[in-house]
Amino acid sequence: MHSGGRILEYCGLFSNLETKKYGRTAAFLGSIDSTNNYIKKLEHYLPDGFVALAKKQENGRGRSGKEFYSPSGHGLYMSVLVKDEKAVSDSLATVKACLAACRAIDRITGTDKDNGVGIKWVNDIYYKGRKLCGILCERSEGADGKMYVVIGIGINLFFDRGEAPPYLREIAGSVFDVSGVEYHAPTLCAEIVNELEQLLSDENDSKKVLDEYRGRSIVLGQEISVIQGDEEKRAAALDICEDGSLLVRYENGFTSKLCGGEISIRRSW
Contact positions vs ligand BTN (CB under 6 A): 34-36, 57, 60-63, 66, 68, 77-79, 124, 134-136, 152-154
Q: Please work out, in degrees rounded to the nearest 5, the angle formed at the alpha carbon of residue 109 by the alpha carbons of 103 and 110.
A: 80
Residue closest to ligand BTN (Cβ): 134
Strands (E), 33-108: 51-57, 75-82
Q: Smaller CB distance to ligand BTN: residue 62 or 142?
A: 62
Around Cβ 54, how many Cβ atoms within 10 Å? Answer: 29
Residues whose CB falls within 8 Å of the CB of residue 17, separated by 6 or more in sequence, listed in order = 11, 23, 24, 190, 193, 194
φ and ψ of 155, to 5 deg: -130, 130
In the bound complex, what is the minimum distance in angstroms from residue 130's beta carbon to ligand BTN?
A: 13
| Least Å from the CB of residue 157 to ligand BTN | 12
**Residue 155 pairs with which residues in a beta bridge?**
76, 133
Nearer to ligand BTN, 35 or 194 (CB): 35
Q: How far is the CB of 37 from ligand BTN (least distance, A)?
A: 7
In angstroms, what is the minimal distance from the CB of 34 to ligand BTN?
A: 3
Among residues 58 and 112, whose Cβ is nearest to ligand BTN? 58
Judged by CB, which is closer to ligand BTN: 64, or 255?
64
The distance of closest approach from Cβ of residue 70 to ligand BTN in the complex, given in angstroms and rounded to an integer, is 6
185: number of Cβ within 10 Å: 21
Smallest gap, in angstroms, from Cβ of residue 39 to ligand BTN?
9
Integer Cα distance of 49 and 56 in angstroms: 21
In terms of CB distance, is 34 or 217 closer to ligand BTN?
34
The whole-angstrom separation of Cα 69 and Cα 91 is: 28
Helices (H), 145-205: 166-169, 175-179, 185-200
| Residue nearer to ligand BTN on the CB measure, 153 or 224 | 153
Measured at the CA of 26, the angle between CA 21 and CA 28, to 5 degrees, comes to 155
- Shortest distance, position 191 Cβ to ligand BTN, whole Å: 16
Closest CA to 127 of 95, 94, 174: 174
Least distance (Å) from ligand BTN to the CB of residue 52?
8
The answer to whether 39 touches 51, Cβ cutoff 8 Å, is no
* Closer residue to ligand BTN in complex, CB, 36/222: 36
| 204 versus 245: smaller Cβ distance to ligand BTN | 245
Distances (CA, A) of 124 to 30, 205, 211, 239, 240: 25, 23, 17, 17, 15
